[in-house]
Amino acid sequence: MNTEGLVKPDSDEQRDCRPSPPAGGCDASSTIDQRRCRDKGLTAQLEYSKGHEQALDDAKKTYDQARVGYREKRHEAVLKVQDMKHQVKHLMASIKCLIEQDRVVRCLDDAFAEVCVQLDCCEGPGGCCARDVQFDHEPPPEGENGDRKLGRRIERYKDEIAKAKACFETLAGEPAALSARVDDVKRDLDAIQAALADDAAKVDLKKQYASALIAKRKLAHVWNGFDDTTAYVDCLCHALNTWSAGVDAVSLLIAVQAMRACAKESEQEWCRALIGGPVAEILVVYDRLCSSDKPCGIDQPEGLEEEHPDDCGCGKHHGQVESAGD
């Protein structure tokens, strides 16, 4: 046989070799396979959703606690922060007077500005960490390339879910973190005051001035980028909703992925059975095509018969002429 010019199909290419059910016929095998694959998809969807159910339920309770707790902590901190801003302002003015040299103060201010750029980079911008993510529930078309796209989308969405979850957990700790930041600045200011109250000959004024500059910076960042309570609660809510929406989208896409994998396996099982027993399949198809007295596989008006071999399997002997008396 001349095989030149024949193209061998790609082994990774998904091929659907299984025939469609005959028109008006019954194909229990395909029907049962479809049901089995649909059930597998639903099971995969439920398993994934169940895996996040408890965490999301707990997050809802945490959300209710955090939005109330943040408002209380922020209300408690407002007056303290105001007082500390006045305190650091007076401390810096006092230390400048003790240093006496304007050049030293200017150099310290310049050094502080340079270090602040590095601190901003290391600490990040603060504020809302929740990302605006749109989850597409519509799966890519079927086929090998579409299945790869589906798998990549699921992994990408899982990554977005992990980010939203991490963001929510960070935000949930913000009420306690706010109180800790306020207490931290208070300790810094108390330490500066204690140092200035010590023997003047022992005081490192440059160090105390730099410490006051850092305390001032901490107070400027004490709210962690949230202008008010509403901004914090909105961000917390957005992070939780993104987490939940991502789980919904992935669960649906995982169901589709499981159904497609099951359908592909069913097709492969059918091919293995066909390759292992083609004779039996020929006979089944023969019975369907030649189940009547009509010529095999040919639809024609009643009373008209075409010549065809005696061994076609119809049960008639077409070469014999019936007698008039029969």
At 5 the pLDDT is 42
Domain contains 324: no
**Range(s) of the domain holding residue 216:** 29-123+150-276
At 122 the pLDDT is 92
Degrees to nearest 5, angle at CA 307 with 302 and 312? 95
Residue burial 143-167, b: 16+ Cβ < 10 Å; e: rest: eeeebeebeebbeebeebbebbbeb
Query: Based on the structure, what is the number of domains in the chain?
Result: 1
pLDDT tens for residues 124-161? 888 999 999 999 999 998 877 888 999 999 999 999 99
Domain contains 197: yes
| DSSP summary character for residue 139 | P
Whole-structure pTM value: 0.75
pLDDT at 63 over 50: yes
At 239 the pLDDT is 97
pLDDT at 117 over 90: yes
Domain contains 286: no
Domain contains 36: yes
pLDDT at 55 over 90: yes
**What is the DSSP track for 12-77?**
TS----SPPPPTT---HHHHHHHHHHHHHHHHHHHHHHHHHHHHHHHHHHHHHHHHHHHHHHHHHH
Instruction: Please state which of the ranges 37-46, 117-126, 201-210, 260-269 shows the lowest mean pLDDT.
Output: 260-269
Q: At residue 254, what is the residue type?
A: I
At 49 the pLDDT is 93
At 255 the pLDDT is 94
Please count the other Cβ atoms lying within 10 Å of the Cβ belonging to residue 74. 21
- Strand (E) positions, the chain? none
Give, in order, the Cα–Cα distances in Å from 161 to each of 6, 138, 167, 203.
47, 18, 10, 52
Domain contains 289: no
Domain contains 262: yes
pLDDT at 13 over 90: no
Cβ atoms of 284 and 270 within 8 Å: the answer is no
Domain contains 284: no
Domain contains 116: yes
What's the mean per-residue pLDDT of the chain?
85
Cβ atoms of 88 and 213 within 8 Å: the answer is no
Degrees to nearest 5, angle at CA 49 with 47 and 53? 115
